Amino acid sequence: MASELITWLRSKTLVLGHLPYAVLRAILTRWTAHYCAYRRLLQLYTALITIALKDTTIANERERIMITGEASSQRKARDMVAIIQNPLFWHNIAL
């Protein structure tokens, strides 16, 4: 789920513009790159939770940052927001 979230975040330039740090990509053959990417994801926790919370409470689509675009894009975004809002996901990454 972490790799899927990282890939999705890296494709969302509007979201990236609201984050304090860059989202790092994990390289398949390098375990240290995975560690650094997941560690950076933990550093982005507060910003991601804040953006996700705003997007789920805003009724106006034009003001949203994550949940935008066509129906299929919005469905994928809602799946990613569910991951971001899942405390068990963050607990597992922190281990």
70: which DSSP letter? S
Query: Structural domain boundaries of the chain?
Result: 2-94
pLDDT in tens, 12-31: 999 999 999 999 998 877 88
Backbone dihedral region for residue 27 (phi beyond 0: left; psi -120 to 50: alpha; all else: beta): beta
Q: Which whole number is the average pLDDT over 42-48?
A: 97
Q: How far apart are CA 91 and CA 34, in angstroms?
A: 16
The whole-chain average pLDDT of the chain stands at 93
pTM for this predicted structure: 0.88
User: Of residues 59 and 42, which shows the higher confidence score?
Assistant: 42
pLDDT band at 1 (very low <50, low <70, confident <90, very high): very high
